[in-house]
Chain A
């Protein structure tokens, strides 16, 4: 290994991943506003919690799909339902997953949040909502999905519309 390569390696090992932004409190309206912000060809909204094992298991797959399809216009909106007072744990998990973009934490009462986001949703987490370029819900599922399933669904949503 050359001296410069060793130096680069030493520096990259020494620098910790940048901390994820603290999730911003948001009700259903704010989440839907985020979905309808111009610029996305499709939007994936995932509702999760740090203590939810299926949520944690599918998290890397969601991020993998989001990173792969971001150049095609896929936007990922992460909404934690962790409880108030546990923001440090939420941020720590997001940081460990390499999340470096703004995310959200659910605000307000359960029913308003659940029905405000989507009436089909029973309230079970994890829950994932896929919107097209016009902000119209095209697919929704409860429970975790695998990388190929998420990617196929997201790709199908991207294929339906032009970017706003």
Chain B
């Protein structure tokens, strides 16, 4: 190995370390992380992402009770989750907020909300916030959709208009779910919306 190549190694290691420290969301094409960590669902079951995965694909939505942005999209999240769970997509909603910071995100409140909204998919507690960290999720709501091979094919917003459902022009997550169901290419793979920063547990 040349001296130049040897000198390059620590530089590359530093770059890799700084990229890891910088975090950032899972890139498109990444595999589902932390599939074996059990999380408590509102029905009392202990579930890992591996338990939720289905052959057609898997949808993970970081959401919560207290955030006005999450509430704005809540009906749409539940509608999409309920309908695509029936169609063969594994669906899970994850609350990574520390309830000491956001009281409305207590387990009891999550149970009530899931019942009120008629969620027919698990709503679980990310009790360490480490699932959110592993996904690089930063806010609620934030969706991650994986295809049949467990590769990330969509990350981002539910759609392009939280405040006015009747004025949605791009139903990003629905389009991505349809593409995954049909084995097609997801038209828009990454989008952004404004959301409440996740109240990570320390």
Residues of A within 8 A of B (CB): 47, 49, 51-54, 81, 83-84, 106, 109-111, 113-115, 121-126, 142-143
Q: How far is the CB of B198 from chain A (nearest CB, A)?
A: 7
Kindly list chain B residues whose C-beta atoms are within 8 Å of the C-beta of A142: 138, 197
Residues of B within 8 A of A (CB): 25, 68, 101-102, 138-139, 157, 160-163, 191-199
Kindly list chain B residues whose C-beta atoms are within 8 Å of the C-beta of A47: 194
A110 touches B101 (CB 8 A): no
Lowest 4 A-B CB distances belong to which pairs? A124-B139, A124-B197, A124-B138, A110-B193
Q: Which of A51, A54, A81 is B194 in contact with, Cβ under 8 Å? A: A81
How many angstroms from the CA of A106 to the CA of B68 in the assembled complex? Answer: 15
How many angstroms from the CA of A51 to the CA of B196 in the assembled complex? Answer: 10
Kindly list chain A residues whose C-beta atoms are within 8 Å of the C-beta of B160: 109-111
B196 touches A122 (CB 8 A): no
A52/B196 contact (C-beta < 8 A), A83-B68, A110-B160 known: yes
Kindly list chain A residues whose C-beta atoms are within 8 Å of the C-beta of B138: 122-124, 142
How many angstroms from the CA of A83 to the CA of B162 in the assembled complex? Answer: 10
B192 touches A115 (CB 8 A): yes
A125 touches B196 (CB 8 A): yes
Residue in B closest to A125 when the chains form the complex, CB atoms: B197
How many angstroms from the CA of A95 to the CA of B191 in the assembled complex? Answer: 35
Kindly list chain B residues whose C-beta atoms are within 8 Å of the C-beta of A53: 101-102
